[in-house]
Chains A and B, each alone.
Chain A
Amino acid sequence: MSYAPRPVAVVNSAQTLFKPSWADRQHVDLISEAVTGVLKGTGLRIDDVDFVIDSGSDFLDGRSISNCGFLGAMGAHHKEESRVEEDGLWALSYAMNKIASGSASVGLVVAYAKPSELDARSFWCTLLEPFTQRPVGLDHLSAAGLYAHRYLTAAGLKPKDLEVVARHAWEAAVRNPNVDLDEVPSAEPFWHERVASPLHGSDFARPVDGAVAVLLAAADVADQITTRPVRLTGHGSAIDQHFLAAREADALPACAAAARMALGTARATAFDIAEVSATSTVGELMVLEALGLAPRHKALDLYDGGGATAVNPSGGALPADPIMATGLARFHEAAARLAGRSGFAAGEARTALVHGTGGFAMQNHCVVTMEVAA
């Protein structure tokens, strides 16, 4: 007996505006806006959705099993619903598998976060092993600083060299209507005040509030709905060991493993768009190298604009990091461009590589690939 997975395609994707604080809206308000948006224009109604997989963090939400309170806003009443305490890109892989296996045809993926309700530092520290790492004061900032110190030393770079990474990200985000940002920050402290040496404020991801929703379907269903269907072609994920000190000094082997699983024999450089997540500039460089988009310690060269792959045309995660939804936001940005949806400059892009990360100091990685159906 042979088993051939069913092709899976993107029907639509949508998000709320990402902004540092949606102080006048609850999680459910953001979630229902994204879900309403993803159904709009597809001809599908919530009753046509077979199952919902969502992503969020109980710690961030400040309540346990927080999805229980958000079911109505996700349109998941009396549907099969499951929640992933990981970035939304993992939720998307599970939905993809479920449709590929033939057990359902239409799946809704939802990811959301309101990091403005809890300070990001507290959230990241809850992920830490509490005996030897948490008490010494390790947090997401100092962890990125330690990676950066070793990366810059090994690559022969200076802290100032990282400004090109931040500039690329923030300038792209200014052009991105999905991000609440009018101009690239110009304040002196943002660019020059030390946060965790060798990193400055501009080297860190800015937490934002928001929600993202993606509608997936079996390809034959999606083909009837969309004029330029986008097929999912691969996915993979991997987790590094937890102890930061024991991980590789200046590389992300778990990210490379996730990419190997997703890409198979394909090469990352063959993709038109790469939308990747990171919590710092150095993190973004290490991700690009682990994915195979640049040789080790050479990812900075990708920012001169000459590469075949457009890196983070959305601006990526640095200007807008809705913590649990960041990878799914990358997916939305890439899928919308491939599908040529209005408001997204698509160019000739036909293929995209999407990356999400989670865990303390980018311990976990997920990679998804897609292409416009021939």
Chain B
Amino acid sequence: MTTMATRIQMPYTLTPGEATGVFLAELGRRRLIGSRHGDRILVPAQDFDGSTGEPAEGFVELAPAGRLEAFTVTAQGVLGLVLVDGADVPFLHRIVGFAEADLTIGARVAAVWADEPTGSVLDLAGFGPAGDGPGFKPRIAPDGLAQPFEQVEYTMTLDYQHSYGHYYGTLFDAVRTDRRLRGVKCSQCRRTLLPPRARCDVCFAPTAEWVDVEAVGVVQACSVVHIEFIGQRLKPPYVYAELVLDGTSTRLIHMVGGIDPAEARTAVAPGSRVRAVWSDRRTGSLADIDYFELIPGEPS
């Protein structure tokens, strides 16, 4: 086995704060809201001016038009810096509706609004070509401001291809094909380490020889898990345990199963002897062990 594909997917409820919250809420009403910091106006509205640290003294509505200061064309489209009329700092957004030959520094642009607001900065679809139509100077927004968004739902998804390397690769090959656990012995302290690795964590000495480890051991510590959380493999309640397999010096985190959940708290304890229950899956990971079970007739 050489690599493992994993995905980290994290749900967030992000808090935009007042200025960004107002800015996003007002985009749904097709209005561009900036913040006033002394004699500077920032759009999108900010709680603090990143250049001066000045807090926002209030919000203003800006005419949704400006001039293009810079742009970049990529395979995903055009992004540009638009200096909105009356603002002191450009606004980075999508540039839409231009033929590439017409993209020039200084081009007049105006807001292109999304057909249906969804509550993100993309309620403003971008800035497109515009004439020199009449606008207005930054002004107090008529009819008051929308309530700021308090929370924004967001999901971050990251896909990884992790390398196993020689040591984990050798272990997981043996797990998958032979249902065999393989560790390594440190050349200095002679302890057996599982999972195997190039160097002993304690001595920083190279490891020397491979040893087979039986999937039998003793519970060092355990805890009954009752709550549900993302990434769980078993349905709670179950016993989460730190195991020391016979002959090894490392601890293996796994689960103890095959017991009545009601008795879990008393049935498993430090010192309990356990053995692996292999699953029918052959994925080449320690999840090929469904769980560890108590060994009948041995200390529990």
Contact = CB atoms under 8 A, between A and B. Distances in A.
A349 B122 CA distance: 53
A24 to B, nearest CB: 6
Interface stretch (A6-14, A92-100, A132-140, A229-237): A132-140
Interface string B67-97: 0011111111101110000000111111000
A153 B71 CA distance: 12
A246 B92 CA distance: 9
B72 A145 contact: yes
B39 to A, nearest CB: 16
Interface string B154-189: 101011111111111100000000000000000000
Interface string A119-157: 100100010001111011110011001101110010000
B121 interface: yes
A135 B121 contact: yes
A344 interface: no
A104 interface: no
A146 B6 contact: no
Contacts of A148: 72
Contact of B198 (A22, A28, A138, A242): A28
B166 to A, nearest CB: 7
A23 B4 CA distance: 11
A25 interface: yes
Contacts of A149: 70-72
B152 interface: yes
B105 A153 contact: yes
Given A142-B74, A241-B51, A24 B81 contact: no
Contacts of A194: 73
A197 B100 CA distance: 11
Interface stretch (A67-75, A175-183, A271-279, A318-326): A67-75
Contact of A141 (B6, B74, B77): B74
B165 A117 contact: no
B197 interface: yes
B160 A118 contact: yes
A341 interface: no
B297 interface: no
B168 A26 contact: yes
Nearest to A197: B73
- Chain A interface residue number, banded: 35 or more
Interface string A23-51: 11110110010011000000000100000
A5 B71 CA distance: 48
B50 interface: yes
Interface string A243-273: 1111001000000000000000000000000
A146 B103 CA distance: 14
Interface size class of B (residues with CB under 8 A): 35 or more
Contact of B44 (A122, A132, A146): A132
A29 B165 contact: yes
B14 interface: yes
A131 B160 contact: no
B187 to A, nearest CB: 13
Contacts of B169: 24
Indicate the member of B20, B161, B166, B200 with the most A CB atoms within 10 Å. Answer: B161
Given A72-B199, A138-B92, A141-B74, A246 B14 contact: no
Nearest to B169: A24
Contacts of B120: 131, 135
A192 interface: no
A126 B44 CA distance: 20
B8 interface: yes
Interface string A56-75: 00010010000000011101
B9 interface: no
B128 interface: no
A132 B204 contact: no
Nearest to A193: B75
A202 to B, nearest CB: 16
Contact of A246 (B89, B197, B199, B201): B89
Contact of A122 (B70, B80, B159, B197): B159
Nearest to B48: A241
A137 B121 CA distance: 11
Given A26-B168, A59-B158, A249 B3 contact: no
Contacts of B93: 136
Contacts of A145: 72-74, 79
Nearest to B105: A153
Contacts of A35: 204
A28 B2 CA distance: 15
A44 B163 CA distance: 31
B117 interface: no
B24 interface: yes
Nearest to A114: B163
Interface string A73-110: 10101000000000000000000000000000000000
Contacts of B122: 135-136
B214 to A, nearest CB: 24
B237 interface: no
Given A130-B154, A136-B93, A149-B72, A72 B163 contact: no
22 contacts: A23-B3, A24-B166, A24-B169, A25-B165, A26-B163, A32-B198, A32-B204, A36-B199, A73-B197, A126-B156, A131-B44, A132-B44, A136-B94, A136-B122, A138-B79, A138-B92, A145-B72, A145-B73, A146-B80, A150-B70, A197-B71, A245-B91
The 10 closest A-B pairs by CB, nearest first: A72-B201, A145-B72, A241-B50, A26-B165, A197-B73, A245-B92, A62-B160, A75-B204, A46-B204, A149-B70
Interface of A: 22-26, 28-29, 32, 35-36, 46, 59, 62, 71-73, 75, 77, 114, 116-119, 122, 126, 130-133, 135-138, 141-142, 145-146, 148-150, 153, 194-199, 241-246, 249
Given A141-B74, A197-B71, 6 more contacts: A29-B165, A32-B198, A36-B199, A73-B201, A145-B72, A146-B79
